[in-house]
Amino acid sequence: MTGGESQRLDKWLWFARFCKTRSLAQKLCEGGHVKRDGQSLTKPATPVKPGDCLSVVLGPVRRTVIVQAPGLRRGPAPEAQTLYTEPEPPERLRDPVMEGGALLRPAGLGRPTKRDRRALEHFKGQD
């Protein structure tokens, strides 16, 4: 592919390492988590070309990137980072401590204890 050609959105997201698999990239598109110039792209086959500004929501983070080139393969991370530029740092969408009225536990701490459960119930007003 030359620099001016377009590429399927799901393939580009996979090549640029925004998703681990192409099927996850398709689900990301179909879920409305990818926007180009403010318009939601819900079809994975939507073509993207160099110069397009994409907004991708990955969990609690929104990343805004500008497509620099179509991908030729899913290579190592340094190669994938040449496919886009990120003009601004990722934007956090939600407060990491509170989400949906429940306290979030830091990853890797295992199951909540009885004391944690009681504190959560007290916080929710269910005691």
CA atoms within 13 A on the CB side of 112: 13
Which domains occur in the chain, in start order?
A: 7-93 (3.10.290.10), 94-127 (no CATH)
pTM: 0.71
Whether residue 104 has pLDDT greater than 70:
no
Strand-pair category, 53-58 with 61-67: antiparallel
Query: Collapsing DSSP states into helix, strand and coil, what is residue 58?
Result: strand
pLDDT tens string 50-81? 999 999 999 889 999 999 999 999 999 999 99
Distance (Å, rounded) from C-alpha 83 to C-alpha 66?
A: 9
Quote the pLDDT of residue 5.
Answer: 87
Whether residue 22 has pLDDT greater than 90:
yes
Strand-pair category, 61-67 with 91-92: antiparallel
In percent, how much of the chain has pLDDT > 70? 84
